Structure 1
């Protein structure tokens, strides 16, 4: 059974002569515990798909099921809590005048959860940060530490699904692998399901079981990790993306 099911999803912006269809009738399913990737060049519509799934973008049509529950553009708090988002920019996504503790407490207060200080300390440990970091401000943390806090904020409601929008692209190359390995470990430890948006085929190959390749708002191919690693893809655009990443994608063992 799929934990995420998307059928005929379409997203448009503007109206009249300015109407632009950004996502054009895409469909996919994601199994529990899977990492499903969305890859393509900037502007292809991959982040728009993620925004529609997250409930951030309201102007979509189609059928979306999350954890067996059909959802619409307007969601209940319980529906929103099942999936949380991690953004590209770990500094811009954190309030600069709030301590890390304040940032992590806010979702707990909104959803009326108990044991708040205990939950804050535990989720910091889960992402590899000392509990004392709750007293710090974002500017006192490195880029990698800020992204760990952003992941902690997404995890604190104990969601089943994380929606990851270019989670490593704003980080130094030396830190990217640490965050990818953290995400991999969290997925296995907490039985999470991911949808990962990236323009980087090496990142996709590192973390994803399958990937949908997007071009101009449509899926041109859905490939497995094995196909990516062995070059067994079919579409010319997918081959172009792979050629651009050659030397960065590890060979299968």
Structure 2
């Protein structure tokens, strides 16, 4: 899907089951008119992962739609506060659903949500689904993974080049549905004309490094490649390199 919003944004979203998993436990949605993007990855190995990710996206959007209705609600501080509320509501709803149905016990999800304003993007996330920004050919990760692996890197116990082969890959330190209280991490980032933003599940980033991702996105920044072509290319590359997990991608471009 692709269109242009009042704040001159172009969107594209796609998801693929990959080459190993039998079902897709990722969920994603965009609201082009409001400038919102949401992506969730049901926790692998847990029953109900697809239910949890779907609930995460639905509850988040419902909260934004309910809380951001007045003109003043577009102020950055207000939007940032609502994003955090949405994450907490999603956590509560997932836990409540798991408590009602024993078949869903232990289900959980990551979540990354972005709200685009005129000159910046506000984010909230939990887990290891990521958001990137490509500007001037330079790809920057805007979110920080909530994983055991990231903690080891931050502490200097593990070198960045050892990450790809670590046994700690995929072990989350924060996630929706895990505990009664969830601590979302918030961010505020500048958004310039031609910037390209990527929200994705780890099914993409476990298969492709930043160099490979940037190479696909650079033609989008210059306007040579359409968002849909780049999204399809990212998914295809991840599958070519193993496709070990579901692959979900949301691309957003600030129009010139």
Q: Indicate whether the TM-score tops 0.5.
A: no
| Structure 2 length-normalised TM | 0.29
Indicate the structure (1 or 2) with the bigger Cα radius of gyration: 1
